[in-house]
């Protein structure tokens, strides 16, 4: 049998748990709104006319800029880098270029065989 104080304590605990959940949902919604805003502002990259492109990427958590090249074989794109995704559609590659990238979302079209960077 529960005492009056036991019931009050249980109710207070539920109220506190609800407040914590509400705060967590508020934080999650703020992150979702920020992500939505970023997606709305992202411009679509037109598919290049060449089979080779190069692009730079600077991840939000690192200050170093990484240089990538991508080669189209048929309709698939292959990206340099051991941990880069492979066999991508153009849309998937454009998303990879833009995702977590602090640099302007762009690429340079290159003639086949010319992967030199322009530093």
Average pLDDT over residues 45-58: 86
Answer whether 0.75 is exceeded by the pTM: no
Q: Name the average pLDDT for the chain.
A: 84
Average pLDDT over residues 89-115: 76
Residue 31: pLDDT band (50, 70, 90) is: confident
| Interatomic CA distance for residues 80 and 82, integer angstroms | 7
The secondary structure of residue 87, as a DSSP letter, is S
Domain parsing of the chain, residue ranges? 1-41, 52-110
Average pLDDT over residues 95-100: 84
36-46 pLDDT per residue, tens: 887 776 667 78
| Interatomic CA distance for residues 117 and 119, integer angstroms | 6
Give the pLDDT confidence score for residue 41 in this predicted structure.
67
| Residue, of 60 and 77, whose pLDDT is higher | 77
Cα–Cα distances in angstroms (integers) from residue 117 to residues 95, 107, 108, 110, in the given order: 22, 12, 10, 10
Angle made by CA atoms 90, 77, 71, in degrees to the nearest 5: 120
Per-residue DSSP letters for 38-77? HHHHPPPPPPPSSSEEEEEE-BTT----EEEEEEEETTEE
Average pLDDT over residues 24-50: 82
């Amino acid at each position: 049998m529960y005492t009056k104080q036991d019931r009050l304590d249980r109710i207070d605990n539920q109220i506190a748990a609800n407040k914590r959940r509400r705060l967590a949902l508020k934080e999650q919604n703020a992150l979702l709104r920020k992500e939505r805003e970023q997606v709305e502002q992202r411009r679509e990259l037109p598919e290049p006319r060449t089979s080779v492109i190069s692009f730079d990427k600077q991840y939000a958590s690192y200050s170093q800029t990484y240089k990538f090249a991508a080669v189209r074989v048929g309709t698939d794109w292959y990206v340099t880098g051991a941990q880069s995704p492979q066999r991508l559609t153009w849309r998937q590659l454009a998303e990879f270029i833009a995702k977590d990238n602090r640099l302007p979302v762009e690429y340079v079209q290159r003639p086949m065989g010319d992967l030199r960077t322009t530093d």
